[in-house]
Amino acid sequence: MSELTLFHADIKNILEQARGKACSAVNAAMVEAYWLIGRRIVEEEQRGQHKAEYGARLLENLSKALSASFGKGFSYANLRNFRQFYLTYPDQAICYTLCSKLSWSHNRLIMRLDDPKARDYYLTEGAAQQWSVRQLERNIQTHSYQRLLSSQGGAEDKLVHGNALGDFIKDPYVLEFLQLPEVGQVKESQLEQAIIDELQKFLLELGKGFSFVARQMRISTETSHFFIDLVFYNYLLKCFVIIDLKTGKLSHQDIGQMDMYVRMFDDLKRGEDDNPTIGIILCDSKDETVVKYSVIEDSKQLFASKYQRILPTEAELVAEIEREKRLIKGGT
């Protein structure tokens, strides 16, 4: 690259960074303004004797006045959203520290969630991982927050390398973007190829900190060769994450094989500065009895998670998550 070309690239980079900062500043200012509008609406409503009628008339009149002065964006529905935004986050500090880091479109999706912990999660992760509105919407629809739990032991109680496990391991994983057949047996090679074809989406579903390393990585001893389906590295956990794909029901042989893979990988591939390797068996279905009485139960390195081929309804996904929780706690 010539000095002149490098000079031009530097100038372009300066301008792009400036535009990004300008967009972020404008976005934060608008989110804060909408919160202030919502607060002012609530304050004015509380002065009315008949709140319901007064509130509706108040918003209708305000919508007409603002639309006449500022144009689009101040419909009756949007003003109700501003009002709800304030009622959801009455603490102004949350608006300034969390909400303002995301666009109004992001905030509008998140504020409709009933669970305060889920809202905090999506606000924090959405900003940190720079999710687009579409990515955020999918994560909410697939209950990403609720699925961040371990296959054994409560996510709140179990740690991996000093990090809360619930921040990294999901159960189930939702892989509707692979467009696999809804029913019928799928070959493991087909599942692997589908993941490679949609690797970017698969990384987003895996969660934060994951980068792809290899497929069918060979690890060899003096007498044998073994091939690991998928290998990733998580820069937050500072460890390799190996995934074994199973399109049938999880068996104790599968668990034993993964246990061996993790031990071998730690011995042959793990670097001096790396934390112990994590192994995830991604299976079509699993018998919790097999899991409970296997080495997975007491291991901090082995996990078994199901995958779903289609995007379930909200009710189906909630039921599945609750079922997993009951099994984790030893219920039926």
Domain range list for the chain: 1-97, 146-328
Q: Which two tokens stand for residue 75?
A: 């419909």
Which residue blocks in the chain are alpha helix, DSSP H? 3-45, 51-70, 76-88, 92-97, 104-110, 116-128, 133-141, 144-147, 188-197, 199-206, 252-268, 288-292, 314-328
Q: Which of 109, 105, 130 is nearest to 118 (CA)?
A: 109
Q: What is the C-alpha separation between 110 and 106, in angstroms, rounded?
A: 6
CA distance 130 to 102: 9
User: Domain 146-328: which CATH class?
Assistant: alpha beta
Q: Which long-range contacts (CB under 8 A, 24 or more apart) does 107-116 make?
A: 107/31, 108/81, 109/133, 109/136, 109/137, 109/140, 110/136, 110/140, 111/84, 111/85, 113/140, 115/145
Please tell me the distance from the alpha carbon of residue 194 to that of residue 173, in angstroms, as a whole number.
Answer: 15
Cα-Cα-Cα-Cα torsion 271, 273, 276, 282, nearest 10 degrees, comes to -70
Position 332, amino acid: T
Beta bridge partners of 307: 173
Sign of the dihedral defined by the CA atoms of residues 290, 295, 298, 301, in that order: negative
- At 150 the pLDDT is 41
C-alpha distances in Å from residue 169, one per residue of 68, 144, 231: 51, 10, 15
For residue 206, with 0-12 CB atoms within 10 Å meaning exposed, 13-18 middle and 19 or more buried, which class applies?
buried
Distance of CA 137 to the CA centre of its chain: 10
Per-residue pLDDT of the chain (332 residues; tens, 9 = 90+): 566 678 778 878 878 888 877 877 888 899 999 999 999 998 888 775 555 566 668 888 899 998 888 888 889 999 999 999 999 999 989 998 899 999 999 999 999 999 999 999 999 999 999 899 999 999 998 888 888 754 444 444 556 666 655 578 888 899 999 999 887 788 999 999 999 999 999 999 998 899 999 999 999 888 889 999 999 999 999 999 999 999 988 988 999 999 999 999 999 999 999 999 999 999 988 877 787 778 887 788 899 888 988 887 777 777 777 776 666 565 44
Confidence (pTM): 0.77
φ, ψ at 157 (rounded to 5°): -95, -20
| Residue-level pLDDT at 205 | 93
Q: Are the C-beta atoms of residues 275 and 236 closer than 8 Å to each other?
A: no
Residue 317 to residue 31: CA distance in whole angstroms: 32
**What integer pLDDT is reported at residue 162 of this predicted model?**
61
Instruction: Give the pair of three-digit tokens for residue 137.
Output: 């919407």
